[in-house]
Chain A
């Protein structure tokens, strides 16, 4: 018995060393932490429970039978983040470059199954060289087993992927199926085919960072939701992120106690919207001053900046915020913005997180670029997302709510629960200039008449009253009271019950 315990200790020590000290040093010299170090920082101290530490691969091809390392390139287990259970798999680059073998994929499957069964978030840390070529089809099959489980868990538990090194080929699709992807600048990249293949096939010269670095995926491709400067910053901020999320779709997010009163009003917001309706302002100020302690976790802050999405809290409860951003393209809806917001709204709805929408949108972006790029179906995604959502929906029209974009941005007509307008709201089919040119085509050229029509139109439509008269707006509120009014609305909606007709699943215009 004692021998076995000694052997166990020995094996544990060996497993913990992964690919050995040289490989660990190599990992460190790139500015990257090892799998176990990352776990130390991600989880509450001492809370990690590891499984399958002694798993080895069973490959016998290419001399692999002589080359076995316990753990086989991935560390799995459970632990706590601020006292809450999470499951995780963390690729170990020091062991076979973190490559995926059959045994490796089975470990991931095991933790995926445990997370789903126990209703707790799954965090995957990727830093790996792709498929283990020596294992051939077993490796490919292993990938698909992982993907299948990602899909089944989607919408049941939050799944988060942290890209902390290479992530290429088969490895990229599991993150792509999860809810959120975060990357580390300079040390991580993601692509389906790497620079070498790109060079061979298309003769295009590109570095790994240019092809799939954190900046590319957070600004151009929108594959990733956020980027961090290094491992430590990322792991610390992911702890903060997890605090916003419920553990599963049958639990609610933790309530974070706060001394920030729901009744806090902000007179400075009365002066946020400029007098000239063509002058931009930062919609984020509404969000940040509305939420508890100004603690906002923005998703995709550097992509489609014309729409802002992210998580905050009101009276301790997690809320998803969406806001058209006048600072960027006047807050117009284009394909990118629609897709970004649609995905966010659907995440919130999946996990019963109420949605608060700030609307200042001049319409959809016109042009061949947009139409050729499928603006109709991309815009429809956001429309679909808002329409199908059954969570509490509170909407505040801050300024423009024009045309088709009004129809999309969580109006009363898409089962908006509480719809407010600020006094500066302009709810109309379009702006005065455009409208007058259509309504009074014959007067074009007669400046006096056009001016008269314009001011008539402005007086009649560019205010919140027409909508309020029809009940499309529940109330006109002062900007300073945005926080107290949202808080009240969300409080009364806390027990909202609404369900959609039974269906196998919906058919979102992908």
Chain B
């Protein structure tokens, strides 16, 4: 067994690997870039090594620096995590030359499976189902159009070296091909330095289901069941679960057998994942094999009870798998929600900055939270904007979902835009609950994007009650001290968007009564003013709310909703009809950079007439190209930047006249 493992990664996965190393009594070495000197993984590791500047191309991706760090600290093995060097065959070879063990598969399967085209050819040869398509390199958009027509629309245009949704575009009709092809090429070039592109049939309503396998160096291969990863935005997974509500025993066995066959044929040894596309008739096709630990591995761990990192370490050290296929039992249900620093209300634009508040739901049973940050930490512009992976476990899917909902309602982040409300909305979405999902779920369910305003009668009333309660507690505090008589009655109106709720409140010393429609609402809560989380029991049922004070009320979030709840006296409410809504449009005349990033292109000219939805420019941040589209129609007055410029958050890109 290894004495000391260096983790060639950062963030939550580095922390997670360190945990298993600690469990096994193995020393750990963290590496960090200058942007990460205060990161959690550095604090958790026994030793740490600075490996250079913030951009990953000058730190986490530099093989030589990782190897030097191993030598200087005497680490005898490297766990690569996911991303960065985890699927870099040359890294594996160089480590081998230095006598350092790579905790992962041999270089050959990495190389073959890392190439989208070669991997498919290999899979086809191994009798694994593949999707119809054109596996040769395509030279330009015209050729792409020809091939697309041959395969038949819709088609998927993909970077050969791609992954994680980068360099991938769907063309639904002939006119989409040119744009899609060009974007893929550009993204592929900037993300992978490899602009080779291929095209394949796009499967309607596909589900993304993958099989976790474990293989050792002694010819043993087992599978650990499937993970359903169909909930994706921009082709990137955000909610995963195991098992899949769609997979029956027969399908599981078939997929498992093909996955095992592929692993055996390629002499795989380590944890790995074979991703499949599954159509509505339960036909499945090989998508790719990920020759590393997956982000979403915790759900498999929760239902199988197996520590995948531990298995990887043991396999890498030459041990034989102790587990046989028959030993693998699936118990219960696990769900993972990926908490991202991004704004679901603005097309999932990444958000960066400081986690002013970061309250995680750690004190809840059957909740696992894999995170690499802490309150006061930074979400850096340089790396993936994932904050954490929140996993819940239950005896069945409903229980796991309920746990997840409670956990999300107790998860509070301030300082950075995040997708907690959006994840909660999905968890509560009827089609999601019924298991009727596919990779287009988010586009279909939220075609106009996600809007968090509470639009459900029951929750609107609950938010109104909560707001009224909070107001009364806050407001009456000072008054009680200054007032001589202790009886107090007030009519209050809660306004949420266009909905109005009238309440009567009575304050008799310590006894607060709230009435709605002449009925007393029983409220119980340990709410402490100033705290962002409050559990409020309303008519005997407990609800959890996140609260931010605003003028005249509160912004309340929970259950996938977030709304301003204005609490007005009856008089103020009557008078509020005279207030003129502020024209917010004036702000839209200035287009500001939504996050720090690089201007890839400006797609309009001064004086040009623009319609709503027209593409204005492309900003690259966190290695993603973000197309900024116009939310107004008008004429471009002035453009403040040009392609290649680096912009800070809120820097002005252009102005409308």
Contact = CB atoms under 8 A, between A and B. Distances in A.
B578 A31 contact: yes
A314 to B, nearest CB: 13
Contacts of B479: 44, 82-83
A257 B481 contact: yes
Interface string B455-489: 00000000000000000000101110111000000
A467 interface: no
B568 A232 contact: yes
A272 B38 contact: no
A30 B579 CA distance: 8
A268 B578 contact: no
A33 interface: yes
Contact of A254 (B356, B374, B481, B551): B481
Contacts of A285: 354, 356
A237 interface: yes
A229 B552 CA distance: 12
A138 interface: no
A45 B483 CA distance: 13
Contact of B572 (A41, A275, A292): A41
Contact of B530 (A28, A229, A271, A293): A293
Contacts of B585: none
B37 interface: yes
A233 B530 CA distance: 20
Contact of A243 (B37, B377, B478): B478
Interface string A46-87: 000000000000000000000000000000000010111000
A455 interface: no
Contact of A294 (B530, B575, B576): B530
Contact of B529 (A37, A186, A259): A259
Interface string A235-271: 0110000010000000000111111100000111111
Interface string A137-168: 00000000000000000000000000000000
A40 B552 contact: no
Interface size class of A (residues with CB under 8 A): 35 or more
A295 interface: yes
Given A237-B551, A271-B38, A84 B529 contact: no
Contacts of B375: 267-268
Interface residues of B, number: 35
Interface in B551-597: 551-552, 568-569, 571-572, 575-576, 578-580, 582
Contacts of B580: 30-31, 186, 230
B653 to A, nearest CB: 21
B478 A232 contact: no
Taking each of B375, B530, B569, B576, which has the highest tally of chain A beta carbons within 10 Å of its own beta carbon?
B530
Given A83-B478, A292-B530, A233 B551 contact: yes
B482 A84 contact: yes
A336 interface: no
A231 interface: yes
B477 A257 contact: yes
Interface string A165-206: 000000000000000000001100000000000000000000
A295 B529 CA distance: 10
B376 interface: yes
B575 A230 contact: no
Contacts of A33: 575, 578
26 contacts: A40-B571, A41-B572, A45-B571, A83-B478, A83-B483, A84-B482, A228-B551, A230-B579, A232-B552, A236-B551, A236-B572, A237-B552, A254-B478, A257-B477, A257-B481, A258-B529, A258-B530, A259-B529, A259-B530, A266-B376, A267-B376, A268-B358, A270-B376, A271-B38, A271-B377, A272-B376
Interface of B: 37-38, 354-358, 374-377, 475, 477-479, 481-483, 490, 528-530, 549, 551-552, 568-569, 571-572, 575-576, 578-580, 582
